[in-house]
Chains A and B, each alone.
Chain A
Amino acid sequence: MKQSTARFALTALTLASTLAFSAFAGAGEVEVLHWWTSGGEAKSVAELKKILEAKGHKWKDFAVAGGGGENAMTVLKSRVVSGKPPTAAQVKGPSIQEWAKEGVLTNLDDVAKGANWDGLLPAVVSNVMKYQGHYVAVPVNVHRVNWMWANPEVFKKAGAKIPTTWDEFAVAADKIQKAGLIAVAHGGQPWQDATVFESVALGVGGAEWYNRAFVNLDASALNSPTMEKSFATLRTVQKYIDKDAANRDWNLATAMVINGKAAMQFMGDWAKGEFTAANKSPGKDYICVPAPGNKGAFTFNIDSFIMFEQKSADAKDAQRALASSIMEPQFQEVFNLNKGSIPARSGMSMAKFDQCAKDSSSEFESSAKSKKLVPSWAHGMAMPASAQGAMFDVVTQFMNSNMTPKAAAEKMAAAAKSK
């Protein structure tokens, strides 16, 4: 009896000391909130975990699946309001500024200076990552949104050629439709409507006007003949979408292009994953070209991590390690190979990437020089979420009613004011 008590006490003591020890050793822990939970994305995140663990830090995964990260954002808000923010969270675009305004983000300038982020990132991109001139976020990847994915077989069958302007588009689409095929694969969801409209507007109005309208929210650019012409072009595109498109998911629309039921889709480069999964190879089974009128211009959608102010020194160390790891070539390469995007940092070897990614990368750098690198407003890179939502409403209402381009342009200017 006595012996067993003693043994129990001893075990308890050992256990307690082990626990205390392990708590001590695991102090440098990073908790990362993200919503990359599907196949290739999850693999990409696991890579980051491996790199950090190799540096002796602990990784605590904080994945919140669902939606376009809406659930994750709700969780993040409650964590921050309760005073326990994670180390880092997947947040992009002007939302970075909104979080920084709350005063909860940490300054990453020391890490950035050490690794020369200013030299590695185009100014348009680093501006998104900065708040009042200081780095508060780290870019992970660059998605190009203004792609057109085409099935060359369908074009050949219809005797049409891949369009490079919106006028050529109408000619080609007519031929495809006459051949009994669907010209444009599309899903009638507000964000998809906006994605198509964004490429149309950039093709019609050019980068300079695009920036004035969708980044500066200049009313004279929003309610303008150029905007009306963009909407009129959207109406033309709409004619070539099949009538069952309502609420179709984007990947089902991509499948229509893969299966040869439809000729083309306007979608960001995440669509490539669908082609790859179907064992199709770029250039042969499918073609990736900029949307009509978009040659030389690049709409970017950049995923990034914002870093929250941490209390303990260990946590700060781990956070710094996380920030610098994300920008390292090793991670940027593996992550983006899995995700279908391209590295955010310039000057990397693209040898392992496919042709679409290589094109994307070279246009990323050339467009940055020619000032045609613009943020994608349909993907939350250009304006506050409230204005973006209001513009989604206008575009999607235009697509689902007989609103005139003139009325739509007026509504866009009104939408820009919503707070």
Chain B
Amino acid sequence: MQSFASAQAGAAAPAATPRRSLLDVVELALPKLVLGPTLLISLIFVYGFILWTGWLSFTESRMLPRYEFAGLLQYISLFGNERWWVAVRNLAVFGGLFIFICMAFGLLMAILLDQRIRAEGFLRSIYLYPMALSFIVTGTAWKWILNPGLGFERLVQQLGFSGFTFDWLVNPQMSIYTVVIAGAWQSSGFVMALFLAGLRGIDESIIKAAQVDGASMPRIYWSIIVPSLRPVFFSAFIILAHIAIKSFDLVMALTGGGPGFSSDLPATFMYAFGFTRNQIGLGAASAVMMMMTVAAVVVPLMYSELRRERRG
């Protein structure tokens, strides 16, 4: 939008007269006019509704919103709810592993693809393709693959390893790890694309200089290339973190939150209580807690990153 406006300004410049023409006024106002509705809409539908949700979390709302203040009632019952703590623990496990695995795999694949290999474009598409699927499809496909009676376990057993078991999907202790597997499968390729773009943006001359100085390839990667990917790490982290926290469809399709509620995440918890159990207040309280989590992770990170940029 900005570049469009400035390009127009550049084109209009030679024709400009000392007097402010109508065109100038339009030019000045245009960006604001164009951005205005978007700004207004996001103010209402994002920030307005955040405030509304926050307000609801302090009420006794059940089936429909009610607006009598009820203090911290919903938060007290939220923190006393066993299922909520299962969801929180699962988010920590899922978020941590998902982000780490995606980053590690993404970086590794990007570095390998960056070695000027043949058919790179083809391979890149293969790795990127899972991203084109929706999480519902990923979840359903992995549900079949991981089902002990249908998929992987049965396959290995039929190959002759009859003692083999892989029952994470139906094991309440392990079910959350299946969500990690499916999530990482889907998102690693995307992270790879991010890193690949970053790698392509690194100045060749620095690497050449390092080679002249006699640095080994691993050394160059470890000390020069990976550190200069810092902004990419940052973007990848932000994107993956928000995918992890808002994860809903993947869990719904893969495990349905089960067995029992062993693979519940805060988002599925919020949906269950807010929409199916007529406990809007409790659902709102859990939504607020989710937002606080995002804010606690992202805000300091963004702040430090922006400050670094400003300092140059």
Contacts and interface: CB of A to CB of B under 8 A. Distances in A.
Interface of A: 67-68, 70, 73-74, 77, 80-81, 95, 98-99, 102, 188-190, 242-247, 384-386, 388-389, 393, 396-397, 399-401, 418-419
B64 A102 contact: yes
Given A73-B275, A386-B279, 20 more contacts: A67-B276, A70-B276, A77-B64, A95-B63, A98-B62, A99-B63, A190-B258, A190-B261, A243-B149, A246-B255, A247-B258, A385-B63, A385-B277, A386-B62, A388-B277, A393-B260, A396-B260, A400-B262, A401-B260, A419-B62
A244 B258 CA distance: 13
Contacts of A384: 278
Interface string B260-282: 11100000000011011111000
A98 B259 contact: no
Among A74, A77, A400: residue with most chain B CB under 10 A: A400
Say whether chain B's binding surface is mostly helix, strand, loop, or mixed: loop
B102 to A, nearest CB: 25
A70 B273 CA distance: 11
Contacts of B259: 188, 246-247, 396, 399-400
Q: What is the size category of the interface that chain B forms with chain A?
A: 20 to 34
A393 B170 contact: no
Contacts, number: 90
Contact of B260 (A244, A386, A397): A397
B132 to A, nearest CB: 24
Contact of A74 (B65, B150, B275): B275
Contacts of B256: 189, 247
B167 interface: yes
Interface of B: 62-65, 77, 82-83, 143, 147-150, 167, 169-170, 172, 175, 255-256, 258-262, 272-273, 275-279
A245 B150 CA distance: 12
A400 B260 contact: yes
A385 B278 contact: yes
B64 A397 contact: no
Among B143, B149, B167, B259: residue with most chain A CB under 10 A: B259
A190 B259 CA distance: 8
A246 B258 contact: yes
Nearest to B150: A244
Given A244-B170, A247-B143, A247-B255, A397 B276 contact: no
